[in-house]
Amino acid sequence: MQTTTYDVVVAKTFPRIGAYLLDGIIIFLLFVVFYNYVMYPIAKQLWSVDTLEAEYVGHMKNFGIIVELPDTTTEDPSDTYDYNLYGISNAEQYAELFPDAVMTYDEFLVDLNNKATLFYADEEASGVETLLSVYNLVQIAISFLISQMLVFYIVPLILKNGQTPGKKMMHLGLATPEGLIIRNWQLFARFLIGIYAVETILSIATYMMFGLPLLPLLISAIMVLLTRRHVALHDLIAGTVVVDLKQTLLSNTLEERQFVEPSRAFEPISPLLHNEPSSTEDKQDV
């Protein structure tokens, strides 16, 4: 019997980008839904976030950081809306909002910074802001967790071969570097540790604490571009590679991988089951 092995065909860059974009859009939509319609109502019940927000706005008004401006979109001249002065980004905008202002734009900026210093020096005011920030981060973290778990773990369990909606459309999948079907623990580690903990939460944390531009996510993108098998950080953690399923035949074991019919090398892939040739002609070809 003729035996053959062949290399795992790693997915090319543009199909991977297409898959990432589609998956990213789905995750963003799921995140918006979970954050606004699931997590925020829960936060209102558990932590009275709406009450804290009203209290926060009250403190900002007391320190003159949020002011009431006339609402020109209504006919009632007594209608006003709250405006955060940190929304003013240039002198033209300042002059438009406050045409009769006594202070110049530069003086306004100095005054606003002084008000902010007093605000953060007030324990009650700064304490309310800190609580809101913590609760908001918890909502963001849980919303990302649920959204990414659906796309990067639950759906691939259903579609098999590690396929997300984007990978399914691009005919991509996951495998080990040897061309073996990945295990559930690898899929879970890839999602939870690699994508969620390192590339999402750690990226957000490094940005908030040090101002670094999503550093772990950037490192992962560079790895995809520069490494031989285009392995991202989450793939390195899980021991996986993204493969072209049109040209890669996956196996359950290394032993199975030693006995593969050459004619099947470029068929669409499902988990490999070794079958004997079904006809005398096939046997002669072997």
**pLDDT digit string (tens) for 37-65?**
999 999 999 999 999 999 999 999 999 99
Q: Is the pLDDT of residue 81 over 50?
A: yes
Under a CB-based contact definition with an 8 Å cutoff, are residues 232 and 190 in contact? no
Under a CB-based contact definition with an 8 Å cutoff, are residues 234 and 163 in contact? no
User: What confidence tens digit (pLDDT) does each residue in 154-196 have?
Assistant: 999 999 999 999 999 999 999 999 889 999 999 999 999 999 9
In 42-159 the beta strands, taken as DSSP E runs, fall at 66-70, 80-84
DSSP 1: -
In the chain the beta strands, taken as DSSP E runs, fall at 66-70, 80-84, 172-175, 241-244
Phi, psi of 8, rounded to the nearest 5 degrees: -70, 130
CA 75 remoteness from chain centre: 44
DSSP string, 68-82: EEE-TTSS-TT-EEE
Q: Is the pLDDT of residue 138 over 90?
A: yes
Bridging pattern class, strands 80-84 and 172-175: unpaired
Residue 257 pLDDT: 67
Q: Is the pLDDT of residue 108 over 70?
A: yes
Alpha-carbon gap, residue 54 to 48, rounded angstroms: 10
Residue 272 pLDDT: 37
| Structure token pair of residue 281 | 């002609």
Q: Is the pLDDT of residue 1 over 50?
A: no
Alpha-carbon gap, residue 87 to 109, rounded angstroms: 12
Under a CB-based contact definition with an 8 Å cutoff, are residues 250 and 272 in contact? yes
| Structure token pair of residue 120 | 């953060």
Q: How many residues does the chain have?
A: 286
**263's torsion region: left (phi>0), alpha (psi -120 to 50) or beta?**
alpha
Number of helices and strands in the chain (H, E): 14, 4
Phi, psi of 76, rounded to the nearest 5 degrees: -80, 115
Domain boundaries, the chain: 13-45+138-285, 48-130
Percent of the chain surpassing pLDDT 90: 65
Residue 75 pLDDT: 79
